[in-house]
A and B are shown apart, each in its own frame.
Chain A
Amino acid sequence: MVFMFHLELIFNVMTDFIYKYRWIIIILCLLTGAVSLLVIPKTKVDPEMRNYIPQSIESRIETDKIESEFGVQDLVIIMFTDDNIFQTNNLNQIKAIDKSISIISGVSSRISPFTVKSISSAEGMMTVDPLIKGIPADTTELKHLGKSILENRFARGIVVSSDLTTASITATINNSVAEKTTLHEIDSVINSNPGGTKITKGGLPYIRQSILKDVSKDGVILIPVSLIIMIVILKLNLRSWRNVIMPFSVVVLTTAFSIALIPLLGWKISIITLLVPVILIAVANNYGIYLVARFQELGKLHPGTPKKELIRTLMKSLNMPILFSGLTTVAGVLGLLTHSIIPARQVGLLAAAGVSVALLMSLFLIPALILVSGAGLISKKGTGDKKSLIEKILSRLSGLIINYPGRILLVSAVVILFLSSGIILLKINTNQENYFSRKHPIRQASAIINSKFGGSQSISVMIKGDIKDPEIMRRIDILTLGIEQEKGVGNVFSISQVMREMSKAIYTSNEQGYNTIPDTREAIAQMFELYNMSGSPDDFKQLTDLDNTRAHILIRMSEPENDIINSVKSKISELTSNFPAEVSVGGYALIMADFAQSIIKGQISSLLFAIITVFLLLSLIFRSFKGGLIGSIPLIASIMILFGIMGYSGIALDAATALLSSIMIGVGVDFTIQYIWCFNIQITSGLSYPEATVSSMKTIGRSIIINAFSVMAGFSALIFSGFTSIRFFGYLVIISIGSCLIGALVIIPAFLMKYKPGFIGFETENKKFRKNEKESTIVGVTTAAFTSSSATA
């Protein structure tokens, strides 16, 4: 009673406060929105996936260390394709573009058919010359050139594909100029040198550029689409535009507030942050719909009552399940704070802040708006006695649940087990290329790079020591040869390969030193010097530093999938054990493999956090651990089904889909809470289990379905995203909420019917309110207590 008294007091105080300061509340909320709108343009996009994982992760530390010595290893790859690339006009076009790219200040180095050297030896003469000295004009010479390229290990599959259909210019870019400027200059060069080849551009800088463009494009499409969907839903639920504007303003203000938090907290938008506005638009309207609809209902019940008194009654009718509904949503998304992926934590915090603000604004702004708005809020249209399709389905469903609860549970268990068995097929994918659809130019470029040019993602191994030491050079050679044999490895670039090629130029094939690593320090030093005399120092500045104290082995991955990367990483560890120098292993591909590990760890930690928190909340709501456990069943089943479907359909866990389970918990648990709470009211009011099932289905069941479909509709905007991963998120979140819905309206009712658990029959504050009000039948009470929809839809 004391608790009830406190609640009543709080709601009275709240009503008086809102009445007194209604204009200030409205102005404050509008100001918050205006400030947010001013801040939003300052939001920046971060297309760099390596920033998704904390800087303290080993692969990031090691990569930074290697890049501080050998520069950023981000490659821009420009490919020229024709039936036969060895045609005079094609080579002229490539040469012109190559020459222009060479002088772009953002480009540190490049490898092209015109930079590759030919080291050859004949009759005691070593020749180091450009592979293409002049562009031949006749077919025979062109064929000869093609043949010599295929025989050159530094050209085949690096600057010209083995099938001679594609040539490439690979440029390493530096940080001295903004990446955007460098790419713009490269694009200008390409555009001003048209020719007969089809030009494709790829590599991480271009992937980042596409992400930047597509994130902005997605923002422009997704937010308006989801807002339009939400307006349609609100209009269907609340009928008049004046009613629609109130919850809609909460949605808009909340979404603007959350997006504005991004620059205010010093964060940047990542691909997955795009989910925040859509989550909020889909979820934030619930409380507003409830309040407006409840107000309409009260208005109909008490015609002529002043608005202030109606608001007071409205406040009193704010019951615990609604507050718990908000709390569980916040708890679910806050689970993401335990995630090791940085944007996942950000999404968790932004969504939690947004939902909390939506709840607060709904509680204060909507009553204030009702108070200042004129008459006409209350619809005069009745709901009608005609049975809707939903009601017919629910009626049949309750009949089945009452008669066959055991069989329903058995069938459900079999379906859950079958669907969740797909978990064993679940894969993790952090390959950025897969964010784009197969038809996207970036994806097509990546396919060519991976199949013809050794891959655009790389692993780097840095050896710190005396590189001229023959033992160290020999171990580098063993490492290089070992890695070259690994599955998924495209090209390996190492100083030991240069040593071997040099030895081929110095010795004849029947001499001992041919194609070997020299066995004295002096011999290695002198071979370096020999190359310095004949080639350019820039030729292998990516492979060893000026004073030969560091060597860099660059491994390009043609299959940048996580399991393959991890297997190569293990091979590197094996080949570098007891290495006579300091070894650092890094590179973008490795960061992505660590990212995959982060996704798994983050998935487990956020799931555990959310499940435990929701379990505790449910136990508190139902005043029973057993109740908490039973309430968690649909949630756990839905998570298993989600991962199972992902496994069967081949949708991998990635940065975006890894957030699904937490968001699903946050949103989907509401349905179970609402059903059990309502069912309990029916039981404590004296109904039998079958009667309570029929009654609950008829009232809350209908509302839950409408609520679930409105959330699903909100999330459906995601299927318009340009990113495959976000689209998959859209499909999967709809499936997840669908499975939570089935869990709440099939499994839970059947479970309660079959086992009649002891926690049912707990006293609710809500029920006491209703008893005091004595205003309606049990059906009316429960309907009004939970949702708007029964009164309005």
Chain B
Amino acid sequence: MNKSRDLSITGSFSANINLTITEKSGSMRNRVISMTSKSYPDGLEKRFIRFIEPADIRGTSMLVFDNKNIADEMWIYLPALKKTRRIVTSEKGKSFMSSEFSNADMASPSVSDFIHRHLDNSGANNLWIIESTPVNEVKADEYGYSKKISYVSTKNNQVQKMEYYNFDNDLFKVIEIKSIFPLTDGKFMVKDMVASNLATSRKSQILFTNINEGIKIEDSYFTVQNLER
């Protein structure tokens, strides 16, 4: 899991994200956002998000500090109200923009929050099958699941699929990595992934486009003042 995580940690990048949520009934909701992200050696990840579509939320901006050991910090600017508000939440299992993805799914995984072990048949069919269990109940509550099973390629250590189990040990969510974007340093970032909620039959897809890797971003970019520009 460490190898896989190291491969997915990127320095800085910017991209457009197309988020599509599809209800069981077939009704859909689309969001197009631009995101700029920067990772720090201590595990901190800063993200700057600006909404592009739909029109009525265009200009809405978010600043997220994804802290590893303390609660995440989030600021949001609402242009129609001309107000910035800081949102505090400790729940990593909370939904990312109303989608099936959680905030934790959007960040690089924190390996130390889990106990990992290989399951039977791990390694067969060129796939490691690894079970990750939260280290304690507090972490389990924070992430919102009892265990995760990851299917990782033995060839390139890339995660292909993750299965999430609820506290009754029933499978409730599956994330499939449809495609990845290879970075120049040999690492990769996920380009297209689909999360399926088995309880609600709702699906969410995140598609990264216009990916710019390794860009240099000043720390001053990730400030509340910049949100309101």
Cβ-defined contact, B81 with A536, below 8 A: no
Q: Compute how far the CA of A561 lies from the CA of B144 in the bound complex, rounded to whole angstroms.
A: 42
Which parts of A95-111 form the interface with B (CB within 8 Å)? 99-100, 102-105
The 0/1 profile, CB within 8 Å of B marked 1, for residues 504-545 of chain A is: 011100000100001011110111011011111100000001
Are B81 and A526 within 8 A (Cβ)?
yes
Confirm or deny: B70 has a beta carbon within 8 angstroms of a beta carbon on chain A. Answer: no
Q: When the two chains form their complex, are residues A505 and B80 in contact, meaning their CB atoms are under 8 A apart?
A: no
In angstroms, Cα B167 to Cα A99, docked, is 8
Stretch from B91-99, B123-131, B180-188, B212-220 that touches the partner:
B91-99
Residues in A with CB closer than 8 Å to B91 are 130
Interface presence of A232 (CB below 8 A):
no
Q: Give per-residue flags for A118-148: 1 if the beta carbon is below 8 A from chain B beta carbons, else 0.
A: 0001001111111001000000000000000
Q: Are B57 and A525 in contact (CB under 8 A)?
A: yes
Q: Within the assembled complex, what's the spacing in Å between the Cα atoms of A535 and B29?
A: 18
Given A99-B167, A537-B95, A547-B29; A526-B85 close (CB under 8 Å): no
The chain A residue with its CB closest to the CB of B165 is A103
Is there contact, CB below 8 Å, between B89 and A128? yes
Most A CB contacts (10 A, CB to CB) among B21, B23, B87, B166 go to B87
CB-based closest 4 A-B pairs: A525-B56, A522-B80, A537-B98, A523-B80
Write out, one digit per residue, whether chain B residues 74-111 have a CB within 8 A of any chain A CB (1) or not (0).
Answer: 10101111011111111100110111000000000000
B27 lies within 8 A of A522 (CB): no
A1 in the interface, Cβ–Cβ < 8 Å?
no
How many B residues are at the interface, by size bracket?
35 or more
A-B contact pairs, 30 of them (CB 8 A): A99-B167, A100-B167, A103-B170, A105-B199, A125-B87, A126-B85, A126-B86, A126-B87, A129-B89, A505-B85, A506-B83, A507-B83, A513-B81, A518-B80, A518-B81, A520-B80, A522-B56, A523-B81, A526-B57, A526-B78, A526-B79, A526-B81, A530-B85, A533-B74, A533-B87, A534-B87, A534-B89, A536-B94, A537-B98, A546-B27
Count of residues in A whose CB is under 8 Å from the partner chain: 39
Q: Is A316 an interface residue (CB 8 A)?
A: no
B29, B56, B62, B90: the one within 8 Å of A533 (CB) = B62
Tell me if B168 counts as interface (CB < 8 A to partner A): yes
Question: Which residues does chain A contribute within 8 Å of B85, judged by CB atoms?
Answer: 121, 124-126, 505-506, 530
Q: Is B86 a contact partner of A522 (Cβ separation < 8 A)?
A: no
| Chain A nearest CB, measured from B33 CB (Å) | 11
Q: Give the Cβ gap from A169 to chain B, nearest Cβ, in Å.
A: 15
Instruction: Find out whether the CB atom of B56 lies under 8 angstroms from the CB atom of A468.
Output: yes
A545–B27 alpha-carbon span in the complex (Å): 10
Of B27, B94, B99, which one neighbours A547 at CB under 8 angstroms? Answer: B27
Known A-B contacts A506-B78, A522-B79, A523-B80; A529 and B57 likewise in contact (beta carbons under 8 Å): yes
**Bound complex: CA of A527 vs CA of B56, how far in Å?**
11
- A interface footprint on B35-65 (CB within 8 Å = 1, 0 otherwise): 0000000000000000100101100101000
- Across chains A and B, the number of contacting residue pairs, with CB separation under 8 Å, is 105
Closest Cβ of chain A to B223, distance in Å, is 14
| Given known contacts A533-B62, A536-B95, A547-B27, A127 and B81 CB-to-CB distance under 8 angstroms | no
B226 CB, nearest partner CB in chain A, Å:
16
* B84 x A124 contact (CB < 8 A): yes
Complex Cα–Cα for A532 and B99 (A): 9
Closest partner residue, chain B, to A505 (CB atom): B85
Q: What distance in Å separates the Cβ of B150 from its nearest Cβ neighbour in chain A? A: 21
CA distance A506 to B21 in the complex (A): 27
A133 and B90 in contact (CB under 8 A), knowing A124-B85, A533-B76?
yes
- In the bound complex, residues from chain B placing their C-beta under 8 Å from that of A545 are 23, 27
A104 to B170, CA, bound (A): 10
Q: A105-B199, A546-B27 are in contact. List 8 more A-B contacts (CB 8 A).
A: A103-B172, A125-B87, A125-B88, A127-B88, A525-B56, A526-B78, A527-B78, A537-B95
What chain B residues lie within 8 Å of A525 (beta carbons)?
A: 54, 56-57, 80
Q: Is B60 a contact of A124 with CB atoms below 8 Å?
A: no
B51: contacting residue among A104, A529, A537, CB under 8 A: A529
Residues A526 and B95 in contact, CB atoms below 8 Å apart: no
Complex CA–CA separation, A121 to B88 (angstroms): 10
Distance of A525 Cα from B79 Cα, bound (Å)? 11
Residues on B with C-beta less than 8 A from A527 are: 78, 81
Measured in the bound complex, the distance between the Cα atoms of B79 and A567 in whole Å is 43
A129 contacts which chain B residues (CB < 8 A)?
88-90
Inside 8 A of A126's CB, which chain B residues have their CB? Answer: 85-88
A536 cross-chain contacts in B, Cβ below 8 A = 94-95
Q: Which of B173-204 contact A (CB under 8 A)?
A: 199
Task: Collect the chain B residues with CB atoms within 8 Å of residue A121's CB.
Answer: 85
Complex interface residues of chain A between 252 and 291 (CB less than 8 A to chain B): none
Query: How many whole Å from B68's CB to the nearest CB in chain A?
Result: 20
Contact check: which of B60, B84, B89 meets A529 at CB < 8 Å? B60
With a cutoff of 8 Å between Cβ atoms, the chain A residues found around residue B86 in the complex are 124-126
- CB neighbours (8 Å) of A506 from chain B are 78, 81, 83, 85
Q: Which residues of B contact A513 (CB under 8 A)?
A: 81
The answer for the CA separation of A262 and B23 in the assembled complex, in Å, is: 40
CA distance A105 to B84 in the complex (A): 39
> Complex: how many Å from CA A526 to CA B55?
11
Task: Report the minimal beta-carbon distance from B210 to chain A, rounded to whole angstroms.
Answer: 22
Whole-angstrom CA separation of A126 from B57 in the bound complex: 19
Could you tell me the distance between the alpha carbons of A507 and B62 in the complex, rounded to whole angstroms? 18
Between B79, B89, B167, the greatest number of chain A beta carbons within 10 A of the residue's beta carbon is seen for B89
B187, chain A: closest CB distance, angstroms: 28
Residue ID in chain B nearest A525 by CB atoms: B56
Per the bound structure, the CA–CA distance linking A133 and B91 in Å amounts to 10
In the bound complex, residues from chain B placing their C-beta under 8 Å from that of A125 are: 85-88
Residue among A127, A128, A521 making CB contact with B56, cutoff 8 Å: A521
Q: Complex: how many Å from CA A224 to CA B170?
A: 47
Shortest CB-to-CB span from B139 to chain A, Å, is 14
Residue of A nearest to B168 (CB): A103
Most chain A C-beta atoms within 10 Å of own C-beta, residue among B21, B54, B84, B94: B94
Complex CA–CA separation, A519 to B2 (angstroms)? 51
Q: Which residues of the partner chain B approach A534 to less than 8 Å between Cβ atoms?
A: 74, 76, 87, 89
Q: Which residues of B contact A133 (CB under 8 A)?
A: 90
Q: Nearest CB to that of A121 among chain B residues?
A: B85
A646-689 vs B, CB cutoff 8 Å, 1 = contact: the mask equals 00000000000000000000000000000000000000000000
Query: From B51, which residue of chain A is reached at the shortest CB distance?
Result: A529
- Chain A, 734-790, CB within 8 A of any chain B CB: none
A526 to B166, CA, bound (A): 32
Q: How many whole Å from A662's CB to the nearest CB in chain B? A: 45
Complex Cα–Cα for A705 and B19 (A) = 81
Give the docked Cα–Cα distance between A545 and B28 (Å): 11
In the assembled complex, which residues on chain B have CB atoms less than 8 Å from the CB atom of A130? 91
Contact partners of A124 in chain B: CB under 8 A = 84-86
Chain A residues with Cβ below 8 Å from B74 are 533-534
Contact A526 B199 (CB under 8 A): no
Whether the Cβ atoms of B57 and A522 lie closer than 8 Å is yes
1/0 per position for A319-340, CB-CB distance to B under 8 A?
0000000000000000000000
Q: How far is the CA of A361 from the CA of B93 in the complex (A)?
A: 71
A652-B204 Cα distance, complex, nearest whole Å:
53
In the complex the two chains form, is B97's CB within 8 Å of A533's CB? yes
Chain B: minimal CB distance from A563 (Å): 38
Asked if A127 and B79 sit within 8 Å, CB to CB, the answer is no
Q: Please encode chain A, from 535 to 577, with 1 for each CB lying within 8 Å of some chain B CB and 0 for all others.
A: 1110000000111000000000000000000000000000000
A121–B76 alpha-carbon span in the complex (Å):
14
- Residue among B23, B78, B97, B98 with most chain A CB within 10 A: B98
In this complex, what residue of A is CB-closest to B58? A522
Q: Return the CB mask of B143-170 against A: 1 if under 8 Å, else 0.
A: 0000000000000000000000011101
Q: With A103-B166, A128-B87, A529-B57 as known contacts, state yes or no: A546 contacts B29, CB within 8 Å.
A: yes
Chain B residues with CB below 8 A from A547, complex form: 27-29
Among A104, A513, A523, the one with the most B-chain Cβ atoms within 10 Å of its Cβ is: A523
In the complex, what distance in Å separates the CA atom of A213 from the CA atom of B166? 33
Q: Smallest distance from the beta carbon of B81 to chain A beta carbons, Å?
A: 5
Distance in Å from the Cβ of B103 to the closest Cβ of chain A?
Answer: 10
